[in-house]
Every structure is written in C-alpha cells, then in structure tokens.
C-alpha cells in the first residue's frame, strides 16, 4: 500500500502516548493522533507530532565503525562484533568480569533491556549494568520500595482527571509530561484544586490554585511542615494510619519542629500559603501527588521521596483511585528498563541479586552461575574508570558525555578506559570517543514494548526499515550474547524475549504479545487471566504495612558562597528532549528552542547589569560555559536555570556529582554558581 | 467497500477500521481485507485525505466523509488544492451523539450512504454562555483558557482548511519561541484567519489536549461572517466575500495562500 498508518508508542516522554506513524513510500512522513487511545485520547504534544522528523535524518549512523588511531573507519558487522567480543573476553580474563560496565538504555525496548542485562549477567558475568534511571528516578525506586514495597507510580494517568486535589512538586508537568499536565488542567477545569511547589514558576503553576516557590534543596522542610499542620489540625486519617502503617509516632515527633515560621525561614514559603496548601490537600477526598526530577535529583533524593510518601499516608491518600504518590518517569521506557532488570542490584521484576534463592532461580533459568556481588551504579562507574577498576564499557543508546553530571570528569574517565563500544542512532558526543560504534534502529524501525510511567505495557511497531546496515538493539544484544556465551541468546523475535522475561519476572507473568496487540495491560499482571493493575496497594502494601520515615531537613551538598552566590538548577524545556540527539534534528522543535540559554530573575539581572539575550558566562566549582541570558520574573531571585539539552553549552559541565547515599543519584538540581557578562 | 470500488469506480478507499483494539485510519485497495470498519469515531478525514493525496499520483480515492468533510473539501477545491475529479465522496450521516458533541447545525451529507440523518442541533450552549458574560469577564475567561495552551499545534495540524505548508502563526512573530503559553495573538489571528474557511468540524477542539473551547470561538466568528456578509463557509459555489475588492468585485487570487 502506498500509504500506511502504523500504531506505535511515542519515543519521547514516559507518558506513553500512542499514535499512528504515517508511512509513504517506505518513509515515515507524519504522525496522526489515535482518537481511541486511553492515554492520549486523540491529542499529542509538539514532540509527539514531530516524532517522525528525525527518523530520516541524514546524520543517522548507517554502518559499523572501528577506531584506527584518531579516526573511526567503516567496518563490517562481523568485524565490529568480533572486535567487541574479543576485547570483552580479553579484559574479563585479565581483570575479571567486574572490570566491565554495561549501560542499557531507557530509549530501548523492554525486550532489549532484558537482553542487555542478560548479556552483562549471563554472558559477561557481572552485575555491572545500569542505565539513566540512575540519573532520574533511582531515588524513587529506592524510596518507594522502602515506604510501600514497590517503586512505581501508584496510580494511572487517566486518574488525574478525577482527583479533587493534585499536589505537583519538582515537575514542570506541562512541558516535561505535556499530556499528563493537560490531564491536571482538565481536573482543574472540573473544580479540582491544584497546588504547585517549585522554585520556578512553570506554565502549570501560573494556572494553579496555590503556587509556592521554595528555595532549591529545602523540600523536606515544607513537606514536614505540611504534615505538622495536618496533624495539629486533626486532618490526618487516623483509621488508615492505625490499620495500614507503622512508625507514625516517630514521624509525629520529628515534624513537630517544623512550624510554619521555621519552614518559612528554611524555604521562603509564606506561612499562610503553607497552611492553606496543607488544609487543601488534607481535606480533599481524593488527592494525588505528582513529582519528578525536582524531588529525585538531590543528594537526599531518597529521603525526599519518602517524605512525600509520608504525606500521602498521613492523609490516607494511597490505595484508592485518583490518589497516591506518582513519580512521573521521564523517558519513553525508563520504567520498562528498570522493570527489565537494567539495574546493578536487581534482576528483572525487582528481584534482588543478593538474595540466594532468587539468584538460584535465575541461574536455573539462564543455565549459568551468576555473580553474587551487586553491581556498580552508572554514577560510580566513571569514578572507577578513573581509578582503573573499570577498564571497558559497552554502551547502548546512552550519551553520558551530555547527560551525566560533571562532564569534564566523565571525559577524563572515558579517556582512561581500555575499550569503549557504543551502540546508537546518531553520532553523539559519546559516540565520537568510542573504539567501536554500531548503528542501531530507532523506535520506528523495530518491534517491541515500552512501559509507560503508569506501568502500561505498550507496543512499539516497526513502520519502516532501518537506514543502511543499522540493526535493532535486540539483534545486536543477541549477537553479542552468542559470541560471548554461546547459548541462551537464540531469540528469533522480541516476542520470544518477552516470553522469557515474563517467565522470570512475576510482575510481567501474564503479559504476552497476543494481549499487548489488542489491549493495554498494566503490571503487576501475574497471570494470563489477570486483567493487570491500575491502583497499587489497594488492600495492603506490597510489604504489608506502609512505613513512615522520620526525616530531617538537611542542606544540599553544595551551598552558595561569596564566590558562587547563585543556586543553579537544571531541567528540560518543552521542545527539546534530554541530550537533544533526536529533537535537535527535528526542524520544528529546533526552531522553537534552538540554542542554549540560562533563566535569570529580573532583579538579579538588573543588579548584574545583564539584559535579555546578552551573552553570559557561568562558572561552578567544576567548569564554565557561555550562553545567552533569558531574563524572566518566572524564576526565584538567587536561582538560575539551564536546560541540559545543548552540547555547545552543556549544563552538566557545571553540575555536581554529589550522590544520594542510597540511590546514587546525582544532585542535578542544586549547585553553586557564579554568573558574569561574557 | 462495494459502493466505493464497484458502484463508484474508485481505486482507493480511505476509511477508519478496527486495528489493535483501536479505531485506525486505513487506505484500502480493491480486494483488500477491510476487517471491521468503524464509523463511530470522528477522525478528520479531509486532513488525512489531503496528506495522502500528496503521495498518490494516479487513481481516484473514495473517502468516507461527514457533512463537514464535504464542506471542507469544497473549500479546498475552490482554492485548487484538491481536484474533485479524483475524489469519490461516500456520505456518512453523523449520529445524534456526534451532533450533540459538535453542536452541529448542518449534519446531513448530500447523500447519506451510511447511517441516517438526525436532527441538527439548535444553538451552541458553550458559545451563548460565553457571549452572555459581561465583556471584561469574557476577556478574563479567554485569557484563562488560552493560558492552558501548550503549543502542540494540534489545532492547526489537524485543521482541514489550514492548508499553508509553513504556518506563519507557528513562527516566532506570533508565538514567541522557547516557552508556553503562546500569546493571545496566536489564537486571535487564527480565529480571524479561519473566518471564511472554517466548516465547524470541531477537530481543533477535539484535538486540544487542554480542552480550550476552540469550536465555540469558531462558531462565534462564523456567526459574525453570516451576519456581516451573509456567507457560510463550505459553499461550493460562492467565493469568500473576504476575497473581493473594496468595491465588491472578485479578486484575481484564489485565496490559496496565507
Ligand atoms: S506527552 Fe510525552 S508521550 Fe505524549 S506525545 Fe508528548 S512526548 Fe510523546
Ligand atoms: S490544540 Fe490547544 S494546546 Fe494545542 S496549540 Fe491549539 S490551542 Fe494550543
């Protein structure tokens, strides 16, 4: 047929909108929204509408390459794969398998992530496998596991529409998760109260019922403050607390000290606003919390997540429709990459690698002895490369040279490696430093599944052929697995891979292609006749009782000083996505936000003599970048914001690799910086 | 199928069918297995048709069209943007529910090949309740609504009579880049720009993720067009009164540019 419409899943944010790729003459030429899709309901954001644009871009990688001196030269698949396999074997023989770090990708499908972690664990023999969830929601996974027993969004996207109150913090929802943001707007139009807590004014905060701007890094204080008000006003849900939770008394003791006055001095939030917000949230029948990187990307990220869980449990807002604690996952498949076990401490389905019984289950399934030692986090791997403990990296579709904190450090670490192979669709900053490069198929060129932020497993369908010799990552992972391990990697299709994953990960037990082809299933789905699960923790928590965590406010790892007087925070804008690899190659998106900029408050700008669009230099303890100023009243005085999409002025040259002790997530949201005219 | 290929001699049929549990647009050729056809979900068929016709150089395309599609096609044909000889229109009468949803006053296609014509709606409650507000409140109302816009451009992309290749309104002059929401100019210029074309299919309002009542706005502008020029868009015969000289003589240009 000259024109086809292929139903598939958006490759950008974790909302997981489905749409039709319009294919004409073998090329992806447009996007048509799917009217009957439960998630997107016939709408998309500007990124979704332009999701075809980068697919045919002339920069796509089309053939394997091997480094010869300073040059990457064209090679055959055979040569390139052999080279990777022989280097991996050599390094493993000389230094042990733990000298190899494997990076999976939240842009790859569930099946691919399953295979990539299997390559690491079963073919190379190390638990050193991780991916960019470390950089976004590692603290969610850790924090919610401790509080509730499950690290995922408790409720689902459509439920936002029916909430009575929605508390949004650390999420610029209308820009970063547009179709979740618009659900919140729909709720608002129906009369729901919307509370936004964010150091920046966002498009959502401007239409919110209450908007509070806290100082970056002071979140525990306002959350504890709200809980304190709720308890002293007797708005807490005693029945829920008694029946379903433990540790309330300790929590009550701790939050007592967070009076509105004290919270104001720690966060800058006016007392009245805090009191109104607390009452509003607590008196709603169904109240939802939504949060994103503004909570997780802190050196106390795990504690912050637990503080939000406290707030929800105090008011009994867990386990019912339109309630819960809802982390908004950033990448199209960051949820799935975690589910599939691309984490150094967890096998597929969140099963601990340190648990002997689980390990023997996997040893049996994969017919191989597995490492007992939990692996290394992505954020530690570059440190370990500098000290020589890590000698090689195998990187699927990630771009640490842009996405990781303190890029200068990453660059030095990479230069110390003996070997680095990168599999990607475009020549990214990381690809340029690789020893072997393999060209991958993008989302439009392969079959598989993505798992959206609300645990919905959604089909990705092949619409067009990959360019040149590019191949899907699942085939590449199978080829490498076969070369390194012999057996265990003979999969003819992603369908077969998902079948194996379902057999070892009970939360996916009942999910198969036959179902995914026709319906939307959300995990946990333990058996074929199970309908999937919308709301988690309805009867009891996964760990029995929900656990309150008494948490104290601690200052961020890096504080301002005379030399670095401003707080720098980073994030996304609507039009670009992450390291810009795809969006900056999409004409309409690039037009909207072409170059790097820093947002600075009008007052600060006046004081420093800076006008809009002036060139400014920003320096932190780790580096300097130069970019344009955008003077705005939408950001708090004393705070500056840089979107991290732009290689020419990469925000992550400045950010701090201070890590959360539990989740090893870096503190992207706070570092001290100085701004000057350039 | 039979109607399209055998009775009306089309080479292709553009319709909506059931696929993966969803209603999906599909282009069929004679003899293809159509599966289950669906007529209950209002996709913007004219917009899909215009996109497809760029790729189909030969043959006639049959399209399952509602009344508003017929009128949109008329607007495009008048401007030489579609060739009627290459089209076969299969009329689909809208359901009562659909009519209610669009507050549609002209729901019956010239030939109702599928379904039965139901009674038109009387007036648009949404538009009249906005019109009954005092003027300052009305402005506040629209400002609050437009604050919800997140520049998806769904309202322009899915509009059957938005035919410019590069929408000037999407350029930074009217929708300052780097941020949302866009200024009022985007919505207001667009409202006026569509005055002599909008066929009230309602697709802008349906596509809008933020539930901005765009159809109500269009209807209000169309009422003014009717009152001032006695003109209703979608009329295959009459040229837009906006495309005349000040003396009322027709202009040379077809009005096929922005
Ligand atoms: S909201 Fe997210 S998933 Fe939906 S279209 Fe936009 S980027 Fe894609
Ligand atoms: S469809 Fe709605 S949100 Fe999208 S550009 Fe139009 S008015 Fe704005």
* Cα separation, B96 vs B117, whole angstroms: 9
Q: What is the pLDDT of residues B48-84, one digit of tens each?
A: 999 888 888 888 999 999 999 999 999 888 888 888 8
pLDDT-based confidence at B250, cuts 50/70/90?
low
Residue A43 to residue B148, Cβ atoms within 8 A:
no
| Fold that domain A566-677 belongs to in CATH | Barwin-like endoglucanases (2.40.40)
pLDDT at B249: 67
Among the bound ligands, the one closest to the CA of A450: 1
Longest Cα–Cα distance in chain A: 70
pLDDT at B131 over 60: yes
| Radius of gyration for chain A, computed over Cα atoms and rounded to the nearest angstrom | 24
**Using the beta-carbon criterion (under 8 Å), do A45 and B152 form an inter-chain contact?**
yes
A320 close to A313: Cβ distance less than 8 angstroms? no
* Domain range A65-136+332-522, CATH architecture: 3-Layer(aba) Sandwich (3.40)
Does ligand 2 lie within 6 Å of residue B210's CB atom?
A: yes
The residue among B16, B20, B47, B204 with the most chain A CBs within 10 A of its CB, best to mutate, is B20
Say yes or no for a CB contact (<8 Å) between A185 and B27. Answer: no
C-beta separation of A117 from A341 below 8 A: yes
Helix (H, G, I), strand (E, B) or coil at A522: strand
**Do the Cβ atoms of B148 and A185 come within 8 Å?**
yes
pLDDT digits (tens, 9 = 90+) for A261-318: 999 999 999 999 999 999 999 999 999 999 988 888 877 888 999 999 999 999 999 9
Mean pLDDT of the region A229-239: 95
- Does some domain include residue B87? yes
Query: Looking at the structure, do residues B98 and B129 belong to the same domain, yes or no?
Result: no
**Cα separation, A584 vs A587, whole angstroms:** 7
> CB of A451 within 8 A of CB of A432?
no
Whole-number pLDDT of residue A485: 86
Domain holding B6, by residue range, is 2-102
Query: HSE (CB half, 13 Å, CA atoms) of A395?
Result: 29
Which two structure tokens, joined as six digits, stand for A128? 């050193």
Closest-approach residue (CA) in chain A for B25: A5
How far apart are the CA of A269 and the centre of ligand 1, in A? 32
Q: Which of A6, A10, A18, A34 to mutate to test the interface with B (most CBs of B within 10 A)?
A: A34
Q: How far is the alpha carbon of B52 from chain A, nearest alpha carbon, in Å? A: 7
Q: Are strands A546-547 and A245-246 parallel, antiparallel or unpaired?
A: parallel
- Residue A452: pLDDT band (50, 70, 90) is very high
Please give the pLDDT value at position A177.
93
Cα distance from N-terminal residue to C-terminal residue, chain B: 37
Report residue B82 as tokens: 């579609």
- Decide: B5 in ligand 2 pocket, CB within 6 A: no
- B206 within some domain: yes
Distance from residue A175's CA to the centre of ligand 1 (Å): 10
The whole-angstrom separation of Cα A470 and Cα A447 is 14
Are residues B60 and B144 both part of a single domain?
no
Q: Looking at A419-423, A655-659, B51-55, which range is the least confident one?
A: A655-659
Say how many Å lie between the CA of residue A62 and the centre of ligand 1.
Answer: 27
- Longest alpha-carbon distance in chain B: 60
CB A504 within 8 A of CB A361: yes
pLDDT value of position B172: 63
Mean pLDDT in residue range B122-142: 88
Residues B145 and B76 occupy one common structural domain: no
Domain boundaries, chain A: 4-49, 65-136+332-522, 154-328, 566-677
Closest ligand by atom to A185 CA: 2
Closest CA relative to residue A619, chosen from A674, A568, A671: A674
| Residue A634 CA: distances (Å) to CA of A200, A268, A641, A668, A677 | 6, 16, 11, 20, 21
Dihedral of CA atoms A199, A201, A203, A208 in degrees, nearest 10, equals 90
> Of A28-32, A410-414, A588-592, which range is least confident?
A588-592
* pLDDT tens column, A120-170: 999 999 999 999 877 777 788 889 989 998 888 999 999 999 999 999 999
Q: What's the rounded Cα separation, in Å, for the pair A570 and A332?
A: 20
pLDDT of residue B123: 80
Residue A535, pLDDT score: 93
The answer to whether residues A177 and A291 touch, using CB atoms and an 8 Å cutoff, is no
Ligand 1, atom 2, lies closest to the CA of A13
Report, as an integer, the average pLDDT of A65-83.
93
Average pLDDT of chain B is 85
What does the pLDDT read at residue A150? 86
Distance, CA A14 to ligand 1 centroid (Å)?
7
Task: Say if B109 falls within a structural domain.
Answer: no
CB contact under 8 Å between B209 and A3, yes or no, is: no
Binned at pLDDT 50, 70 and 90, residue B173 comes out as low
Check whether residue B152 and residue B213 sit in a common domain.
yes
CATH pick for A154-328 out of 3.40.228.10, 3.30.70.890, 3.40.1440.60, 3.40.50.1950: 3.40.228.10
In angstroms, the CA A158 to CA A525 distance is 19
Q: What is the pLDDT of residue A623?
A: 85
This model of the complex carries an ipTM of 0.91
Please give the tally of structural domains in chain B: 2
Same domain, B75 and B156: no
Question: Which of the listed CATH numbers 1.10.3720.10, 3.30.300.30, 1.10.10.10, 2.20.25.90 matches domain A4-49?
Answer: 2.20.25.90
- Which pLDDT score, from 0 to 100, does residue B167 have? 74
Find out whether the beta carbon of B217 lies less than 6 Å from any atom of ligand 2: no
pLDDT at residue A134, as a whole number: 78
Q: Do B25 and A20 touch (CB under 8 A)?
A: yes
Confirm if A443 and A17 have CB atoms less than 8 A apart: no
Cβ distance A203 to B20 less than 8 Å, yes or no, reads: no
Residue B120, in any domain of the structure: no
Q: Is residue B248 a part of any domain in this protein?
A: no
Residue owning the nearest CA to atom 6 of ligand 1: A45
Same domain, B28 and B86: yes
Distance B72 CA to ligand 1 centre (A): 29
pLDDT at A507: 94
Whether residue B147 and residue A179 make contact (CB cut-off 8 A), yes or no, is: no
A459–chain B nearest CA distance, Å: 10
Q: Which of A52, A182, A188, A516 best probes binding to B when mutated, by most B CB atoms within 10 angstroms?
A: A182
Ligand 1 atom nearest the C-alpha of A49 is 5
> How far is B26 from chain A, CA to nearest CA, in Å?
7
Does residue B258 register a pLDDT over 60? no
- Over 60: is that where the pLDDT of B189 sits? yes
Q: Is residue B108 part of a domain?
A: no
Looking at A136-286, which runs of residues are DSSP E strands? 165-169, 193-197, 210-212, 245-246
- Which ligand 1 atom minimizes the distance to the CA of A177? 1
Is B154 in Cβ contact with A43 (below 8 Å)? Answer: yes
Smallest Cα distance from B137 to chain A, Å: 17
pLDDT single digits (tens) A84-96: 999 999 999 999 9
Could you tell which of A44, A49, A574 is best to mutate to test the pocket of ligand 1, judged by most ligand atoms within 8 Å of the CB?
A44
Residue B107 lies in a domain: no
Q: How far is the CA of A48 from the centre of ligand 1 (A)?
A: 5
Q: Write down the pLDDT at residue B248.
A: 63
**Residue of A16, A45, A292, A454 best suited for mutating to test ligand 1, as the one with most atoms within 8 Å of CB:** A45
Of A590, A594, A564, A571, nearest to A642 (Cα)?
A571
Task: Answer with the residue of higher pLDDT: A434 or B5.
Answer: A434
**With bands split at pLDDT 50, 70 and 90, how would you rate the model's confidence at B221?**
confident
């Amino acid at each position: 047929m000259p024109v086809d419409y292929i139903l598939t899943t958006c490759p950008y944010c974790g909302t997981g909108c489905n749409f039709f790729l319009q294919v004409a003459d073998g090329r992806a030429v447009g996007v048509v929204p799917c009217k009957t899709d439960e998630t997107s309901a016939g709408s998309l954001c500007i990124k979704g509408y332009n999701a075809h644009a980068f697919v045919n871009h002339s920069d796509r990688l089309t053939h394997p390459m091997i480094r010869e001196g300073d040059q990457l030269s064209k090679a055959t698949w055979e040569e390139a794969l052999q080279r990777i396999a022989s280097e991996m074997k050599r390094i493993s023989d000389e230094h042990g398998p733990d000298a190899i770090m494997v990076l999976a990708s939240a842009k790859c499908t569930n099946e691919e992530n399953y295979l990539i972690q299997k390559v690491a664990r079963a073919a190379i023999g190390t638990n050193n496998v991780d991916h960019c969830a470390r950089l976004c929601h590692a603290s969610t996974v850790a924090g919610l596991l401790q509080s509730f027993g499950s690290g995922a969004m408790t409720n689902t996207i459509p439920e936002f529409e029916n909430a009575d109150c929605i508390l949004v913090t650390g999420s610029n929802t209308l820009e970063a998760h547009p179709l979740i943001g618009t659900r919140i707007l729909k709720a608002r139009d129906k009369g729901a109260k919307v509370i936004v807590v964010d150091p920046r004014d966002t498009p959502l905060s401007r239409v919110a019922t209450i908007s509070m701007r806290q100082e970056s890094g002071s979140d525990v204080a306002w959350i504890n403050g709200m809980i304190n008000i709720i308890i002293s006003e007797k708005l807490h849900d005693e029945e829920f607390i008694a029946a379903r939770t433990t540790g309330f008394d300790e929590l009550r003791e701790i939050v007592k000290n967070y009076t509105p006055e004290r919270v104001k001095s720690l966060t800058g939030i006016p007392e009245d606003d805090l009191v109104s917000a607390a009452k509003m949230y607590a008196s709603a029948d169904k109240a939802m919390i939504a949060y994103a990187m503004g909570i997780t990307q802190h050196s106390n990220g795990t504690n912050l997540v637990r503080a939000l869980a406290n707030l929800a449990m105090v008011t009994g807002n867990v386990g019912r429709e339109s309630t819960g604690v809802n982390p908004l996952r950033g990448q199209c498949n960051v949820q799935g990459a975690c589910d599939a076990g691309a984490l150094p401490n967890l096998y597929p389905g969140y099963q601990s690698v340190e648990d002997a019984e689980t390990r023997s289950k996997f040893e049996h399934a994969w017919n191989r002895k597995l490492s007992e030692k939990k692996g290394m986090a992505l954020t530690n791997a570059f440190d370990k490369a500098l000290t020589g403990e890590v000698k090689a990296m195998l990187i699927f579709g990630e771009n640490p040279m842009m996405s990781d904190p303190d890029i200068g450090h990453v660059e030095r670490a990479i230069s110390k490696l003996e070997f680095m192979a990168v599999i990607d669709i475009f020549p990214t900053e990381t690809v340029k430093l690789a020893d072997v490069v393999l060209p991958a198929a993008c989302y439009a060129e392969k079959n598989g599944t993505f798992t959206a932020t609300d645990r919905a497993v959604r089909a990705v369908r092949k619409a067009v052929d990959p360019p040149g010799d590019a191949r899907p990552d699942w085939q590449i992972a199978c080829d490498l697995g076969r070369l390194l391990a012999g057996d265990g990697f003979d999969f003819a299709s992603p369908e077969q891979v998902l079948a194996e994953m379902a057999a070892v990960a009970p939360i996916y037990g009942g999910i198969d292609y036959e179902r995914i082809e026709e319906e939307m299933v959300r995990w946990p789905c333990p058996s074929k006749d199970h309908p999937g699960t919308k709301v988690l923790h309805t009867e009891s928590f996964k760990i029995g009782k929900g656990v309150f965590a008494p948490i104290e406010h601690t200052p961020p790892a890096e504080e301002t000083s005379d030399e670095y007087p401003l707080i720098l925070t980073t994030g996304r804008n609507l039009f670009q996505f992450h390291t810009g690899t795809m969006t900056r190659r999409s004409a309409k998106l690039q037009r909207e936000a072409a170059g790097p900029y820093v947002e600075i408050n009008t007052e600060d700008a006046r004081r420093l003599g800076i006008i809009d669009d002036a060139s400014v230099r920003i320096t932190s303890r780790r580096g300097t970048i130069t970019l344009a100023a955008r003077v705005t009243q939408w950001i708090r005085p004393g705070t500056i914001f840089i979107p991290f999409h732009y290689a020419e002025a990469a925000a992550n040259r400045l950010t701090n690799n201070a890590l959360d002790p539990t989740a090893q997530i870096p503190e992207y949201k706070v570092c001290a910086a100085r701004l000057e005219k350039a | 199928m039979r109607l399209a290929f055998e009775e009306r001699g089309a080479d292709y049929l553009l319709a909506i069918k059931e696929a993966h549990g969803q209603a999906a647009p599909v282009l069929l050729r004679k003899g293809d297995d159509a599966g289950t056809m669906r007529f209950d979900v209002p996709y913007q068929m004219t917009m899909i048709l215009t996109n497809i016709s760029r790729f189909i150089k030969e043959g006639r395309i049959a399209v399952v069209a509602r009344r508003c599609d017929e009128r949109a096609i008329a607007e495009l044909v008048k401007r030489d943007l579609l060739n009627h000889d290459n089209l076969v229109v299969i009329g689909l009468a809208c359901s009562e529910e659909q009519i209610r949803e669009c507050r549609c006053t002209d729901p019956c296609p010239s030939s109702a090949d599928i379904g039965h014509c139901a009674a038109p709606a009387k007036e648009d409650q949404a538009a009249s309740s906005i019109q009954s507000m005092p003027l300052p409140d009305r402005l506040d109302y629209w400002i609050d609504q437009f604050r919800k816009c997140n520049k998806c451009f769904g309202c322009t992309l899915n509009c059957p009579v938005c035919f410019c290749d590069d929408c000037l309104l999407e350029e930074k002059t009217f929708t300052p880049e780097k941020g949302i929401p866009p200024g009022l100019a985007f919505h207001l210029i667009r409202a006026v720009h569509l005055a002599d074309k909008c066929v009230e299919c309602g697709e802008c309002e349906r596509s809008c993720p933020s539930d901005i009542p765009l159809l109500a706005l269009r209807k209000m502008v169309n009422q003014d067009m009717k009152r001032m020029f006695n003109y209703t868009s979608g009329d295959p015969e009459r040229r837009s009164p906006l495309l005349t000289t000040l003396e009322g003589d027709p202009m040379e240009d077809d009005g096929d540019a922005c």
